[in-house]
Structure 1
Amino acid sequence: MTDYRTLFDLQGRRALLLGAGGIGGEAGRALAAHGAEVVCADRDTATAEATAAAITAAGGLASALALDVTDPDDLEGRLDEVGDVDVAVLTAAMNVRKRLLDYSPDEFDRVVALNLRGSFNVLRGVGRRMIARGAGSIIAFSSIRARTVEPGQGVYAATKAGLESLVRTAAVEFGDAGVRVNAIAPGVVETPLTAQIKADPEWYRAYATKGALGRWSQPSELAGAVVYLASDASSFVTGSTLSVDGGWTAVDGRFTPPA
């Protein structure tokens, strides 16, 4: 019989964070709290070290690693260094908020290089190793922008839609080996990346009231979804995108008509 008390137990598992700041940092702390050893990887060494230190200070097991997902050779070498991982969480992403006609080719290339090609590199590198072991869970962060677009978000949205397609494909191709691949799509989250919006009270309120819950989320509110997809609680979940958006994609428009 299934022992439901242990569904979320991650004791003895190793998790690799690819993007250790913000949402990634909260995910790492949550995974460690459920027993996982966490390898905190980030292009910025200080970010990786800070998250690893926070996990260790809370009694968890963690290490830090400098890693660039846009560089396939660096990624492959670092994955060899890390060794076996049971869970990989990819949060690394960027955005250049501009309308399409204002976008430069260089800006387009930079956003696509990290958000889409970086994701491709991770799925290949981590997926190949998990397939060889016959088990694993890959969790990639998408966005509500994969489905709902606004002016200035076109290229970012395109990369997230592409990421979700890669996730579904990887789930199908890796499934026979026992490897699960899923995505999480957050709504509006209070992070340094959204400081520009928070600085504009009207813009900030418009985003808050768009969702069913009428507020922004905190990075910690994404962590439960990560633990779920990393654990045995989601053992039959693959190829899915889990929306954690406060009902953003459930609401039609920003006007509440009279009943």
Structure 2
Amino acid sequence: MSEPTATTETTAATDTTQPTDTTEAIDYTRLFRLDGRRAVVVGAGSGIGRECALALAAHGAEVVCADRDVAAAQTTVDLGGGARALQLDVLDADAVARAARDLDADGGVDVLVFTAATNVRKRLLDYSGEEFDRVVALNLRASFELVRAFGAGMAARGRGSIVGFSSIRAVSVEPGQGVYAATKAGLVQLLRAAAVELGPSGVRVNAVAPGVVDTPLTAQIRAVPEWSEAYASKSALGRWSHAHELAGAVVYLASDASSFVTGSQLFVDGGWTAIDGRYTPPS
């Protein structure tokens, strides 16, 4: 019995890949703090993006609130959600690249969060090519341009966190959501690829996957009681989420609390994807 013990001790002593216990050096009270870091939140003018900007700023980040509607972005700033507003149309690849260059020249960006997306709720056979291109352009192509533009500067500086918003539709589809679901599944793989490629440069890339969220974009569903209740009952918590309930996941992924998390998709869906079907058998 003594020989295996001796061998194990020798291996551990000479294995330089063993993690070092640094518990005493870590100040856990600051684990989620973002002081001294600049975050860009794309889609900060309303909904989930606004709440993310507010949360990041509350944890000490200098937040640039970017949105196509600069007045809405300024409202977020005025609410305490950032240092300044930036007009940005993510469908304009040149504008995205220019914004990234300007911010890189002005100290760089440590955190990028983007939430912008659109949906045309139609069955596949009813979709037009123009509608398909419109959904793909915002949900996938614009994400590609954001990751490229801001990821380059992060990689050059050797640090950064990119957080994109996917959806439960990346893994769960219903009729009329096919193209949207395809773009969200594609986004997850795009972000995973970025995590693999940018990881050696110290850049982490992750996705947050919301369930059904009460925002202006889902007002159409909320306006139909039967539809709204069906969605609520699908989650384990039996309700819709609110935009502010997504902000904590973003703070986590932006901060050192998630320093070894990359290439992941964090579901904030109230247990939607944990449930198989809507029928509860009698006990």
TM-score over 0.5 (shorter chain): yes
Number of equivalenced pairs:
255
Task: Give CA deviations for 1:103-137 in whole Å, capped at 9, x if unaligned.
Answer: 11111101000000001001111111100010000
* 1:64-97 superposed Cα distances (whole Å, 9 cap, x missing partner): 0111222111111111222311000010111111
What is the CA–CA distance in structure 2 between the aligned matches of 1:22 and 1:239, rounded to whole Å? Answer: 25
Identity %: 68
Q: Which residue of 2 aligns with 1:238?
A: 262
Match of 1:148 in 2: 172
Report 1 or 2 for greater relative contact order, CA contacts < 8 Å, sequence distance ≥ 6. Answer: 1
Moved more, 77-86 or 211-220: 77-86
Which residue does the alignment assign to 1:168? 192
**Separation (CA, whole Å) in 2 of partners of 1:46 and 1:110:** 24
* Structure 2 gap segments, 5+ residues each: 1-24
Instruction: State the SS of the aligned residue for 2:56.
Output: helix
Which of 215, 218, 238 is matched with 1:191 structurally? Answer: 215
Structure 2 Cα separation of the partners of residues 150 and 238 of structure 1 = 29
Q: What are the residue-to-residue correspondences of 1:1-259 with 2, within 5 Å? A: 1-20=25-44, 21-55=46-80, 61-83=82-104, 84-259=108-283
Structure 2 CA distance for aligned equivalents of residues 88 and 182 of structure 1: 11
Report how far residue 19 of structure 1 moved.
0.9
1 CA distance for matches of 2:270 and 2:69? 30
Kindly name which structure, 1 or 2, has the bigger radius of gyration based on alpha carbons.
Answer: 2
Tell me how far 1:47 sits from its aligned partner: 1.8
**Helix, strand or coil at the partner of 1:28:** helix
Farther off after superposition, 41-50 or 86-95: 41-50
Q: Structure 1 CA distance, aligned partners of 2:236 and 2:39? A: 33
| CA distance in structure 2 between the aligned counterparts of 1:179 and 1:88, rounded to whole angstroms | 11
What amino acid is aligned across from residue 221 of structure 1 in structure 2?
Answer: E
Q: TM-score, normalised by structure 1?
A: 0.97
Structure 1: how far apart are the matches of 2:220 and 2:33? 38
Kindly state the Cα deviation for residue 190 of structure 1 after the two structures are TM-superposed: 0.1
| Alignment-mate amino acid for residue 136 of structure 2 | V
CA distance in 1, matches of 2:83, 2:215: 23
* 1:68 counterpart letter in structure 2: D
Q: Distance in 2 between matches of 1:247 and 1:155?
A: 23
1:148-197 CA deviation, whole Å, 9 max, x = no partner? 00011110000000000001100000000000000000000000110011
The 1-side partners of 2:233 and 2:32 are apart by 33
Amino acid at match of 1:88: L
CA distance in 2, matches of 1:111, 1:54: 31
| Residue type of the alignment partner of 2:194 | A
TM-score of the pair, normalised by structure 2: 0.89
